[in-house]
Structure 1
Amino acid sequence: MNKILKHPLFSGSIIMFGGGMAANVINYIYHLLMGRILGPIDYGSLASIYSLIYVVAIVPISTSFAIVKFISQAKDKKERGYIYWVLKKFVFWVAVVASLVLLVISPWVAQYLKIDEFASVVMIAPMTFLLLMILTNQAAMQGLLRFIGVVGPGFSSALGKLLFGLFFVALGFSVNGAVFGILLALIVTYFLSVWLRGNLFDEKAKAGSFSIQKFLHYAFPVLIQALAFTAFFTVDVLLAKHFLPAFEAGIYAFPIVIGKKSRGEAYRGIFFVSFLLTVLISILAVSLYWLFPSLAIGILYGKDYLTAAPSLVWMGLFIGVYTANYILVNFLLSIERTKIVYLPLAIAVIQVVGINIWHSGIMDIITVSLVSMLILFVGLSLYMIYTQIPKLYVKN
């Protein structure tokens, strides 16, 4: 028992779980408070900004998995240091280019999404740079099983955006204040990630055999998967902001944003349990939305959002099927079935086309998104039956 308790994976799991839960609770409180304080119209703008942040975070999220892999496989501190500094230099220049591109297209983005707070859109550029640098440090620390270096920045970011955001919103800066709070939180979090990293990576390691091509080859399938699944829960919010009146866009956005859950990679040993739990939790949540929609919205968000009550059960179904699909694809990626990532990418394109055609109201957008998720679920299920179910009957 003592060996288990002292094992770094056991203690690390406790740290990751506890820190992740704490950050999720803070994020939940953040959206509850912002939804109530800002009201549907301004909260719709904030939700659109968040959707844009989720989209630009695709690159750091996808590269972080690859960073964890290569750092953890390093033979010694010298090789580890070389890999880290090569990757950090590469990510730095990716962050610079991405931030400049976002800065240039900011006016078009603000106009397309009908966001009056132009400064909020501009701030996404420096946020992108900071996110990339923070996640590089977090991934490197995770590769060393230094889980405090992963959880600490995540908790700092969540708490910082809550405190800074509420402060500036209370001063009357509305959406700009909330977004500036996120930027300040990321600045603090970046310096925290550097401090937690310390001198674990040898800065003098100048030679080695690691190549960026190898890194990109591993990261690409994860990038496609992240692109598709991020599109599923951001494109609808962004297109709702473009096509619907401001009030309706805000009504649509709040349950979608609040419904986001942190998810981990699934592996065969825990896949069926994870999938079953997801289905059961989704059924419970959808049942509550169906039986008590007005009560759920009224208690959490207030009367301004009650017009969303008839749509809540369908939003819950969308989020439930989305999460099930996410688990299925992560499981397939974990067993190196990487080509499957092109299926969700194709469905994401169908979702975009569908919303551009049918967008007369909230239910149109929800219907297109839900149907897209159901089509993906059927496709993934058939693929699982064809490739994985037979293996259950084969003895290793």
Structure 2
Amino acid sequence: MSTLRIARYNLKIEASQVFMISAMVVNVGNYLYNLALGRLLGPQAFADAAILVTFLLILSFIAMTLQLSVAKFTGSFDTDKKEAFLKYSRKFSLYLGCIAGLLVILMAGKLQLWFNTESSGMFRIFGMGIPVYFLMSVNRGYFQGEQQFINLSITYQAEMLSRLFLTLAFILMLPFQSSELVALGIFISLFPGIFPFKRIKTKILPAISSTDISHLKKFILVTAFYELTQILINNGDILLVKHFFDTHSAGLYASLALIGRGVYFVAWMFVMLLLPKVVQRHKENKDTTRLFFKYLGMVATLSILVILTNLLVPELIISMLFGNAYLEVSGLLWKYAMASSLFALANVFVYYFLSLDKYLPVLISGIFGILQLAMIYLEHSSLEKIVEIQILVMTTLLAIQIGYFFYHIKKTSHRS
């Protein structure tokens, strides 16, 4: 593991620690980005902006599938085979990105009608950036698999900072519709996120065996299914609220979701560190449960602190972050934080088993993701009801994941 040395104080900082700090900065920057949009645009216009951000998160089910697949197989392969796999992954990501981007551009008018937005142009601008987004994710997957956390940190920082400052500059200086300016900021920010770009140095690369390709396809399908259900769990409620409720209510709910989901995004950086470490230990036939409990404990502690804070001072939090125009939903803040915390904890179990090539928890999570969306679709009488449905579904999901974990431990101990 590489380290950074601060000579004056004789301190050593591991690259993974740098990534943790960087991930925290990125999350703070993304929060500032959304908070600034909420304050500048107001609830109604912020609802449209939130749709674009949510769209980016929804598409990340493909992007994260690419990233995790590259990370896992990069960590498993040796020498030149890593570069051969990277080249293969880049071509695939560009083909997939072009198809997905074209679909979004062609469906822009229908997307505008479904989500009740003021502009269809924002979806067209967004669609043009999808190939770049997927290519960026493959590049990040290589750095993650190689545990080059310094380079991985730089890509996230570059994307976040450019999006934050460019979007705000566009809104304050250019006389266009705010939603299109937000889309333009997202599109341009993807290009800095590609760097540093891993260059393939070897000219003659070894072929990837049919066994490896078969394993890769299986992993991609399972991971894509899980990432899709995860994204739907975490963002589907926002899309359904935007469809069923008026623009003002949708803007209020978007602010609620942004604050309440904070625990999930912080937990995400723990998962990013967990996956390559579990893969490496499993490859070396070492115990992985202690590592799992370490990261699960971190997420659990964080969740408790976030829920308590949102329960004790919800009005203060909302007024400070978004302003008094959003205070109507302050009573729901701790409930949404609880739903997100339950999901974050369940997510640690799923990624752990995904690292061990155990796919049943993925299927379980997918079933509950679909169940949550179906329940919200059928029962959406109020914003409070939507949040309570999420708490119920996520509590059941976490309980089942815990049960499967102990079943797996018992089964493994009997074999040994």
Matching of residue 233 in structure 1 with residue 224 in structure 2: no
Is the deviation greater in 331-340 or in 240-249?
331-340
1:274–1:255: structure 2 CA closer, same or farther, 3 Å change rule?
A: farther
1:154-201 residue CA offsets vs partner (Å, 9 max, x unmatched): 1011001100010011124422212211111112333x343xx2x344
Cα gap change, 1:383 to 1:28, in 2 (>3 Å): same
Cα shift at 1:206: 5.2
3-state SS of paired residue (1:57)? helix
- Tell me whether 1:115 sits opposite 2:114 in the alignment: no
Confirm or deny that 1:181 pairs with 2:185. Answer: yes
The counterpart of 2:320, out of the listed 292, 296, 299, is: 299
Identity of aligned residues (%): 20
Please give the residue correspondences for 1:69-218 in structure 2 after superposition, counting only pairs within 5 Å: 69-77=72-80, 79-171=81-173, 172-173=175-176, 174-190=178-194, 192-194=195-197, 197=198, 199-202=199-202, 204-205=203-204, 207-211=206-210, 212-218=213-219
Letter in 2 for 1:92: L
* Bigger shift: residues 233-242 or 96-105: 96-105
**Counterpart pick for 2:58 among 50, 55, 62:** 55
Aligned to 1:342: 363
Other-structure match for 1:272: 293
Question: Measured at CA, do residues 125 and 201 of structure 1 come closer, stay the same or move farther in structure 2, by a change above 3 Å?
Answer: farther
Distance (Å, rounded) in 2 between the aligned partners of 1:271 and 1:25: 26
Query: Is 2:373 the partner of 1:373?
Result: no
Q: 3-state DSSP class of the match of 2:107?
A: helix
Instruction: Report the equivalent of 2:285.
Output: none
**Aligned equivalents of 1:20, 1:184: Cα separation in 2:** 21
Of the three residues 329, 338, 341, the one matched with 2:350 is 329
Q: Deviation of residue 314 (structure 1)? A: 1.1
Q: Which of 379, 390, 395 lines up with 1:358 in the alignment?
A: 379
Alpha-carbon distance in 1 for matches of 2:296, 2:75? 28
- CA displacement at 1:394 relative to structure 2: 7.3
Q: TM-score, normalised by structure 1?
A: 0.90
CA distance in 1 between partners of 2:153 and 2:115 (Å): 33
Range 236-245 or range 113-122, more displaced: 113-122
Higher mean C-alpha displacement, 257-266 vs 113-122:
257-266
Structure 1 gap segments, 5+ residues each: none
Query: Cα 1:201–1:67, aligned 2, differ >3 Å: closer, same or farther?
Result: farther
C-alpha separation in 1, matches of 2:82 and 2:2:
27
Q: Partner residue of 2:34?
A: 31
Return the offset for 1:34: 1.4
Match of 2:17 in 1: 14
1:144/1:272 CA distance change after superposition, 3 Å: closer
Does the aligned pair in 1 maintain the 2:2–2:15 contact within 8 Å?
no
**Maintained 8 Å contact 2:3/2:15:** no
Distance 1:310 1:6 in 2: 45
Query: Is the contact between residue 252 and residue 362 of structure 1 (CA under 8 Å) also seen in structure 2?
Result: yes
Report the TM-score when normalising by structure 2: 0.86
Shift of 1:374: 1.5
> Secondary structure at the residue paired with 1:139?
helix
Q: Report what 1:243 is aligned to.
A: 244
> Does the 8 A contact of 1:81 with 1:205 survive in 2?
no
- Paired residues, what number? 386
* Structure 1 position 387, deviation (Å): 2.4
Residue aligned with 1:360, SS: coil
SS at match of 1:294: helix
Structure 1 residues 300, 105: closer, same or farther in 2, change over 3 A?
same
One-letter code of the match for 1:244? Answer: F
Q: 1:66-116: per-residue Cα shift (whole Å, max 9, x none)?
A: 212333444333x33322222211221111111112222222222111111
* Partner AA of 1:60 in structure 2: A
Deviation of 1:279 after TM superposition, in Å, equals 2.7
Instruction: Tell me which of 320, 323, 326 is aligned to 2:341.
Output: 320
Deviation at 1:207, TM superposition (A): 4.9
Distance 1:289 1:142, change over 3 A: closer
Give the direction of change, closer, same or farther, for the CA distance of 1:138–1:277 in structure 2 (3 Å limit): closer
For the 8 Å contact 2:129–2:190, the answer to whether it is kept is yes
The 8 Å contact of residues 111 and 120 in structure 2, kept in 1 or not, is answered as no
- Asked if structure 1 preserves the Cα contact closer than 8 Å seen for 2:4 and 2:15, the reply is no
Paired with 2:316 and 2:154, the residues of 1 have a C-alpha distance of 36
Report SS of the residue matched to 1:123: helix
The answer on whether the counterparts of 1:233 and 1:256 sit within 8 Å (CA) in structure 2 is no
Query: Could you say if the C-alpha distance between residues 389 and 245 of structure 1 is closer, same or farther in structure 2, counting changes exceeding 3 Å?
Result: farther
Letter of the 1:309 counterpart: S
Q: CA deviation at 1:390?
A: 7.0
Q: What's the RMSD between the two structures over aligned residues?
A: 2.5
Contact kept, 8 Å, 1:47 with 1:257, in 2: the verdict is no
Counterpart Cα distance in 2 of 1:276 and 1:331: 14
